Amino acid sequence: MSSEKVHVEHCKGVNGLDKVILREIRGCSAEVYLYGGQVTSWKNELREELLFLSSKAIFKPPKAIRGGVPICFPQFRNIGSLEQHGFARNRVWSVDPDPPPFPSNTSHRAFVDLILRPSEEDVKIWPHRYECRLRVALGPGGDLMLTSRIRNTNTDGKSFTFTFAYHTYFFVTDISEVRVEGLETLDYLDNLKNRERFTEQGDAITFESEVDKVYLGAPTKIAILDHERKRTFVLRKDGLPDAVVWNPWDKKAKAMADLGDDEYKHMLCVEAACVENPITLKPGEEWRGRQELSAVPSSYCSGQLDPRRALFSG
Ligand code: BG6
């Protein structure tokens, strides 16, 4: 087996959809579907799944896959005539034959470059041309790194404006025992209260009912502590100023065809996003955004979170 094959395997997934498996030498892995350009699995060296994927996920267009890391582009939510969270998550991406250099990732061998360009049908829905690139890479320590580059390729001189999110579903043992650190005292828009603006209290965020909030100007590092599993996820982001936190809780979960009734207990979405201030690109301009996830034992940082230490100590 060639070393290339060990790190990157192209194969078929659910319903015969194309998927790419990334493997890192210590046993960590990730799976990426070309449908949606979507990471659906991320495992540590013990082969433990770190992302939530619904047991009822529908791997069939036009429904986006419920779980993993859906890409929300060209919009987050449902503003105007476009569908909720945009269409990138229910289009078939291609493996990028000619990716531009991604300087920071050059030493990683387990990566794949994907690209989405609009079809003629897409241009009717959103009248713009673009190249939406995604590099998914596994770091040597098993970190999951997503880098996006979006370029305006309009030939009619028109700018376009978009919002974006990595809609990450973390797998948690019990949502009632989860704490999120890094969002305290921030302002947020509450989607459950007509997007009214509030200020978060000073304590770490815990969960006892439905949550759907957009935290504004969130720090570059956020930690999600799964007490029961003694695991901390550290999310690092760049170019994505906001952070969305979502859990549908019991009633909404029951109403969702592609989520098991009790599965809300084992998921938490914390999404690096750009929602409040949309990005505008002139023709030829490019935007970059990035999200890096790592999972470390909670003992490294319990009580006195320092995500930098947590990231580099394990
Ligand atoms: C979150 C939104 O990001 O995604 C929620 O803040 C929304 O309002 C949720 O319900 C799920 O969206 P969808 O379209 O995947 O069901």
Single-letter amino acid code for the residue at 282: K
Q: Check if the beta carbon of residue 150 is closer than 8 Å to that of residue 133.
A: yes
Q: pLDDT of 242-278, one tens digit each?
A: 999 999 999 999 999 999 999 999 999 999 999 999 9
Q: Note if the pTM is more than 0.85.
A: yes
- Given this model, what pLDDT does residue 302 score? 45
Find residue 116's DSSP bridge partners.
132
Non-local (6+) Cβ contacts of 173 within 8 A are 226, 228, 229, 266
* Cα-to-centroid distance, 191 and ligand 1 (Å): 10
Whether the per-residue pLDDT at 303 is higher than 80: the answer is: no
pLDDT band at 106 (very low <50, low <70, confident <90, very high): low
Whether the per-residue pLDDT at 110 is higher than 70: the answer is: yes
What distance in Å separates the CA atoms of residue 90 and residue 106, rounded to the nearest whole number? Answer: 29
- Percent of the chain at pLDDT > 70 equals 92
Positions of E strands within 26-129: 29-33, 38-43, 71-72, 94-95, 111-116
- Given this model, what pLDDT does residue 307 score? 47
* φ, ψ (nearest 5 deg) of residue 122: -65, -40
Average pLDDT over residues 17-22: 98
What distance in Å separates the CA atoms of residue 228 and residue 243, rounded to the nearest whole number? Answer: 24
Average pLDDT over residues 136-163: 96
pLDDT band at 103 (very low <50, low <70, confident <90, very high): low
Single-letter amino acid code for the residue at 33: Y
74-78, 140-144, 156-160 — most confident range: 156-160
Whether the per-residue pLDDT at 148 is higher than 50: the answer is: yes
Q: pLDDT of 207-250, one tens digit each?
A: 999 999 999 999 999 999 999 999 999 999 999 999 999 999 99
Where do runs of H (alpha helix) occur along 98-142?
120-125
Whether the per-residue pLDDT at 24 is higher than 60: the answer is: yes
Q: Among 66, 84, 169, say which to mutate for ligand 1: greatest number of ligand atoms within 8 Å of CB.
A: 84
Single-letter amino acid code for the residue at 78: N
- Given this model, what pLDDT does residue 232 score? 97
Exposed / middle / buried, residue 86 (Cβ in 10 Å: 0-12, 13-18, 19+) = buried
What distance in Å separates the CA atoms of residue 239 and residue 287, rounded to the nearest whole number? Answer: 8
- Percent of the chain at pLDDT > 90 equals 86
Ligand 1: nearest atom to the Cα of 167: 3
As a whole number, the mean pLDDT across the chain is 92
Return the ∠ at Cα 191 (arms to 128 and 292), rounded to 5°.
65
- Region of 206 please: left (phi>0), alpha (psi -120 to 50) or beta: beta
- Given this model, what pLDDT does residue 89 score? 98
In order of their start, the domains of the chain are 2-312 (2.70.98.10)
User: Pocket around ligand 1: residues whose beta carbon is below 6 Å from it?
Assistant: 64, 84-85, 167, 191, 212, 244, 246, 269, 271
* CA nearest to 112, candidates 235, 202, 232, 18: 18
Reply yes or no on whether 7 is catalytic.
no
Whether the per-residue pLDDT at 77 is higher than 90: the answer is: no
What distance in Å separates the CA atoms of residue 49 and residue 42, rounded to the nearest whole number? Answer: 6
Average pLDDT over residues 50-76: 97
Neighbours of 42 (CB within 10 A): 27
Contacts 24+ apart (CB under 8 A), 296-303: 296/231, 296/232, 296/234, 297/230, 297/231, 297/232, 298/225, 298/226, 298/227, 298/230, 298/231, 298/232, 299/230, 300/232, 301/223, 301/232, 302/225, 302/232
Going by the annotation, the residues of the binding site for substrate are 66, 84, 89
pLDDT band at 36 (very low <50, low <70, confident <90, very high): very high
Return the ∠ at Cα 176 (arms to 174 and 177), rounded to 5°.
70
Active-site residue among 128, 167, 181, 263? 167
- Which helix (H) or strand (E) segment holds residue 254: the answer is helix 249-255
Reply yes or no on whether 9 is catalytic.
no
